[in-house]
Structure 1
């Protein structure tokens, strides 16, 4: 029921809580909001799918990767890194190696996926020495956020073992609600999760 509420803030909240359930059947429920007409709902859908950390979410996230809203695309990339697996890594490797405007986000996401696919390690080593400061910073941030600094000796120190340069920008955090305060770092902690049936208007499994 909450996912079909007329108020977009209620739909955002429902998507957020579904991401905390850890249930694979939450993917289908979240997919119903992937084309929500209110732009600020869709970034939370992508974020919540990443919170589930289920490879079954990959097809929905790959669709969201092409959303017209940049914030949705950014969150979809971050979520693909959290989900991991061959299909997600395939997409991230292509974006990180291309002239895509979201290369930095793909680099950060690959850091999250390093334990799910061995192909990420060599690419992350290369990205840590990229010509673009934003890509280097994002690579470092993705590795540190997942304790995966082992992927490349010296990579976290930047190009050729150097420390990050003064002009290197910090890696961006995913934007959850464009135009509203960022979501807390641990959105699933400290509050009870409503029943699955209440969120989705389905019989609880």
Structure 2
């Protein structure tokens, strides 16, 4: 018994196999990219950085409009500086070499969002800050103020100074280490390691 196959049949078979491979590679790469994106978003939310920062994580598969054996996925953030800081836990020092001013609850929040600065606090309240040096523990910037019901330091309306007290507004430290709250590299390495098996499953028709 003789078996034979034409060149046309072989060429068609190869085209079909390549098409299946392109589809498998693209699907696996896209799934890995989306999975990594979702992992990073979950980490950011659990770390307390908020959904707004989590939504800065994006993923895209290339080529965008067709399947390819050379498909690639890119996962990135639109807020890379914020994420890098929480991923590496850097040591932060003052830019001018003096103190880092950390606002207390009495300082309130900045009108521009984020942490309020000593200069903004003085402009907003009309009160002056006074430096208190301490050998042990952080030094202080304090103000003679009244505490509101929300525990914010405000100007006293009393002509006699009733209710005034020395309120710590800022803690002063030479440096601070930001705690590491994210681990972005580990899931990226896991996604890369799992990719060959994911491609093989799709190429062989196993989902």
TM-score by length of 1: 0.26
Q: When you count strand as a share of all residues, which structure comes out higher?
A: 2
> Larger relative contact order (C-alpha < 8 A, sep ≥ 6)?
2
Q: So what's the TM-score if we normalise by structure 2? A: 0.26
- Structure with larger Rg: 2
More helix by share: 1
